[in-house]
Amino acid sequence: MKKSILPKIQDIQCFDIYIPFKHTFSHAGHRRTETETILVKIVDQNGNTGYGEGCPRSYVTKETIESAVQFIEQQASVFTGNFITINKLMVHAKTYKQQIDQNPSAWAAFETACLDLIAKARPCSIESLFNLQTATLPELTYSAVIGSDSFSFKQRLDEYVSMAFEQYKIKLSGHSSQDRSSIQEVLRKGIEPANIRFDANNLWRSSDEVIAYFNQLAFKPAYLEEPVAAGDFHALERIHDMLGCKIILDESFLRMDDFKYITSTPDKWAINLRISKMGGILRTLEIAHYASERSIAMVIGSHVGETSLLTRAATLIATAYKNHIVAMEGAFSDYLLEYDLFSPKMQFSHGGVLKLGTPLGDGMGLTFQPDNHNQAVEQTLVGQGQSITN
């Protein structure tokens, strides 16, 4: 196939994706049994294809599948028929910052598809596109993540222990007896307390409630994620000061603007970097660079139910800032999903290790597999091209 260094967008399509989970995943605010994802496909004049994925979450960024689709429709009207470059994406993102702030997962899906396409058209790997000249990509070690469902907690814990995971992220239920039992189970397995993080998913209303709760548990975590309402930095600082744990910011940190709340006290925080939440790879790289220069810790996060495509995108951030990442989440692939839409699968192995080795190929280096998973692609929502399901 003829390649072009400068791809011209010929077709943009968007699909909503629903893939069943192998087991239910629960946390304080939500219970999930399937994915909630959009997939963007962009084709250039030479038939090169780029893919991008976004996970709209109404309780994080106020997005829905419907609003994400509408946003992609707007981008299709702007970009179809035009050449695409990284610089054009950056200029567009700055020009339409307010709109992207309101639609970060939709833009993340669109931007990632563009970057995948640009790299394939050159052709080069996504790492080379960002001047990360590495012949061998680093091994990445992921955390075990266990939901708050008491019925499956022990089963999931046993599975992770048998795979020799060292770091654990535990979703809190807010019920002291249940959470105390979960902590005791983890400690009985020989997991070091310093390797345990808690995610409260904005469970409590005040810092006093949080402090009283952990006094009941008689356990102080090394990291505590989002214990109170998103953006309540006064309460979060007090929780840090009283419990002595770093506070992981997820819903409370969505964009560069949020640095104003934390740069004066960098030792208190860690930022949960989720590409879909942050509004794409370029924004996430900008945030990671700014945080690294100020010694603010970072966690590579993930959305429950994301496919290998978003996991692969996150490995770019991890490769670029590996010395500043304190923990990684994701790489579940069909450990959680009934099937993955992309190959090779970005899935952790023994010890939570994901071995990337040499760059996988041009662009993201992943192959979309529609033939085996047609039932996951519900409908074509944007674009005049033929549906992937056909």
pLDDT, greater one: 383 or 97: 97
pLDDT at 48: 95
Query: Is the same domain home to 210 and 93?
Result: no
Q: 216 with 329, same domain?
A: yes
CA atoms within 13 A on the CB side of 331: 25
Burial class (CB in 10 A: 0-12, 13-18, 19+), 234: exposed
Q: Is the pLDDT of residue 359 over 80?
A: no
pLDDT reading at 62 higher than 50: yes
The rounded percent of the chain whose pLDDT value lies above 90 is 78
Q: What's the pLDDT at 389?
A: 28
Which residue from 21, 43, 41, 17 is spatially nearest to 33, judged by alpha carbons? 21
Q: Which domain holds residue 61?
A: 9-124+373-382
Same domain, 198 and 151: yes
- Phi, psi for residue 329 in degrees, rounded to 5: -130, 150
Helix pair 176-188, 207-217: axis angle to 10 deg: 50
Phi-psi region of 174 (alpha: psi -120 to 50; beta: other; left: phi over 0): left
Q: What is the pLDDT of residue 152?
A: 86
Two tokens at 299?
């966690």
Range with lowest mean pLDDT among 19-23, 74-78, 160-164, 324-328: 19-23
The answer to whether residue 338 is domain-embedded is yes
pLDDT at 2: 46
pLDDT at 56 exceeding the cut of 70: yes
Q: What is the pLDDT, as a whole number, of residue 166?
A: 96
Residues 37 and 95 in one domain: yes
- Strands 223-225 and 196-199, by their bridges, are parallel
Q: Is residue 364 part of a domain?
A: no
Q: State the CATH number of the domain containing residue 268.
A: 3.20.20.120
What contacts 347, CB < 8 A, 6 or more positions away? 308, 331, 332, 333, 334, 335, 340, 354
Q: Nearest 5 degrees, angle CA 302-CA 11-CA 65? A: 40
pLDDT at 338 over 70: yes
Strand partners, 224: 198, 247
pLDDT confidence of residue 304 = 86
Residue 27 pLDDT grade (very low, low, confident, very high; cuts 50, 70, 90): low
CATH code for the domain of 74 = 3.30.390.10
Q: Do 152 and 90 share a domain, yes or no? A: no
Is residue 388 in some structural domain?
Answer: no
Which pLDDT band holds residue 21 (cuts at 50, 70, 90)?
A: confident
Query: What does the alpha-carbon distance between residue 347 and residue 330 come to, in Å, rounded to a whole number?
Result: 8
Q: Of the given ranges (85-94, 142-151, 291-300, 329-338), which has the lowest mean pLDDT?
A: 142-151
Residues 176 and 314 in one domain: yes
Same domain, 338 and 194: yes
The reply to whether 91 and 151 lie within a common domain is: no
Same domain, residue pair 261 and 208: yes
The whole-model pTM stands at 0.91
Going from the C-alpha of 31 to that of each of 21, 148, 274, the distances in angstroms are 11, 9, 19
Q: CA-CA distances (angstroms) from residue 205 to 9, 58, 170, 380, 388?
A: 48, 20, 20, 42, 45
N- to C-terminal Cα distance for the chain?
22
Answer whether residue 3 is part of any domain.
no
pLDDT of residue 138: 81
Assess whether pLDDT exceeds 70 at residue 243.
yes
Residue 299 carries which DSSP code? E
Span 197-209, mean pLDDT?
A: 96
Reduce the DSSP state of residue 257 to 3 states and report it: helix
Residue 255, pLDDT score: 96
Q: What's the chain's average pLDDT?
A: 90
- Residue 371 in this model has a pLDDT that exceeds 90: no
Higher pLDDT among residues 135 and 129, named by residue: 129
Co-location of 175 and 291 in the same domain: yes
User: Is a pLDDT exceeding 80 seen at residue 211?
Assistant: yes
For the purposes of burial, counting CB atoms within 10 Å of the CB of 366, is it exposed (0-12), middle (13-18) or buried (19 or more)?
buried
Give how many domains the chain has, as a whole number: 2
Answer with the residue of higher pLDDT: 240 or 136. Answer: 240
Q: Which of 251, 245, 285 is nearest to 269 (CA)?
A: 245
For residue 281, which of 157, 152, 118 has the smallest C-alpha distance?
Answer: 118
pLDDT at 30: 64
Q: Label residue 328 by pLDDT band (50, 70, 90).
A: very high
Alpha-carbon distances of 76 from 42, 170, 312, rounded to whole Å: 10, 40, 24
DSSP alpha helix (H) spans, the chain: 58-61, 65-79, 86-95, 97-102, 104-121, 126-129, 150-162, 176-188, 207-217, 233-243, 275-278, 281-293, 308-320
- Among residues 34, 328, 337, 26, the alpha carbon closest in space to that of 153 is found at 26
User: What pLDDT score does 65 carry?
Assistant: 93
The per-residue pLDDT for 22 is: 85
Rounded to 10 deg, the angle between the 150-162 and 176-188 helix axes is 20
Per DSSP, the chain holds a count of helices (H) and strands (E) of 13, 18
Do residue 163 and residue 301 come from a single domain?
yes
pLDDT at 386: 34
Give the pLDDT mean for 134-145. Answer: 86
Question: Residue 26: which pLDDT band, with cuts at 50, 70 and 90?
Answer: low
Which of the two residues, 218 and 288, has the higher pLDDT score? 288
pLDDT of residue 135: 65
Residue 154 lies in a domain: yes
Tell me the HSE value of 146 on the side-chain side, using a 13 A CA sphere. 29
Mapped onto helix, strand or coil, the DSSP state of residue 168 is: strand
Residue 256 lies in a domain: yes
Tell me what pLDDT residue 384 has: 37
Domain assignment present for 216 = yes
Q: Is there a single domain that holds both residue 254 and residue 313?
A: yes
